[in-house]
Amino acid sequence: MEAGVIGKVCLAENLEFLRSLPAESVDLIYIDPPFNTGKVQQRTQIKTVRSAKGDRLGFQGRRYKSIVVGTKRFSDLFDDYLAFLEPRLIEAYRVLSAEGCLYFHVDYREVHYCKVLLDTIFGREAFLNEIIWAYDYGGRPKNRWPPKHDNILLYAKDPSHYVFNTEEIERIPYMAPGLVGPKKAARGKLPTDTWWHTIVPTNGREKTGYPTQKPLGILRRILQASSRPGSVVLDFFAGSGTTGAAALELGRRFILVDNNPEALAVMARRFDGEEGIEWVGFDPKPHQAEVRQRGLFSKKRVEKE
């Protein structure tokens, strides 16, 4: 990144963008890809029935003919998802610096398949953790255990040499502080691979309105542990820019990429007033304070923000 630039926010298709980055040019990657790539597939169901004129030959020379019983349209999300991810993860590996790590945030239904894919790209030995982010929000089905967690897979580019700043990680209270003595209790303990953290509070200041926004507390912990002040952090499924917000707080540099102009508009508001951010392919000004003050946005909305 050029001198003087703290963060870069790009409106771009991420595969193309990743291919334009030099090898080993970023120190940490966090991504939270969407599950639904939105491709609809069509499949035709066929039934076979006995028929002397049938085109299919079966057991003991019996003939069958095929009848189309229906066509089902469905989103073939699964196959599509891994095919979508693979070239992006290969690029992620290429652009990570020698000491860099990847945090891959994924849904509990897909995590196993993604782990296998990541093992083939990074190597099985490069897998460090499966972090469980546990929360307690939303409905509770009555026919199974209510699923209340996301998974974050952590890989190092080189498992024998990577950044992990144990001392920088914000410690958490002991569950039973009475059992560890006052000094230890006051210091708190290191979090494990199971992170209890609320979702983004619906009416809190942190809320940007972007539907898939992740909590700043989760990103703060990731950046504290796996990057250093001045490191370059990349999020190429940036959404509302939570990774950038954590980087700004902690003095890291960042590159955020999203192909949805609405995400860029949210980030323009979120980073309003921050110096040293370069916008690529998108003009943030119409979404920022100066324009709002000139009355182009409604007063009510400005107050709410």
* Contacting residues toward ligand SAM, per CB under 6 A: 13-14, 32-34, 210, 212-214, 237, 239-240, 242, 257-260, 263
Least distance in angstroms from the C-beta of 178 to ligand SAM: 37
- Cα 173 from chain centroid (whole Å): 27
- Specify the residue, 99 or 256, whose C-beta has the smaller distance to ligand SAM: 256
In the complex, the smallest distance separating the C-beta of residue 133 from ligand SAM, rounded to whole angstroms, is 12
CB-nearer residue toward ligand SAM: 237 or 271: 237
Residue 33: CB minimum distance to ligand SAM, A: 6
Q: How far is CA 127 from CA 147, 153, 285, in A?
A: 24, 8, 41
Least distance between ligand SAM and beta carbon 91 (Å): 12
Q: Are strands 149-156 and 96-106 parallel, antiparallel or unpaired?
A: antiparallel
- For ligand SAM, give the closer residue by CB, 32 or 99: 32
In terms of CB distance, is 97 or 213 closer to ligand SAM? 213
Residue 297 beta carbon to ligand SAM: minimum distance, rounded to whole angstroms: 22
Residue 44 is encoded by which pair of tokens? 């035709």
Compare residues 132 and 185 and give the one whose CB is closer to ligand SAM.
132
Nearest distance in Å: CB 63, ligand SAM? 49
| Comparison of 14 and 231: residue with beta carbon closer to ligand SAM | 14
Is the CB of residue 227 less than 8 Å from the CB of residue 164? no
Nearer to ligand SAM, 100 or 239 (CB): 239
- The residue sitting closest to ligand SAM, measured at its beta carbon, is 239
Work out how close the CB of 247 gets to ligand SAM at its nearest, in angstroms, rounded to a whole number: 13
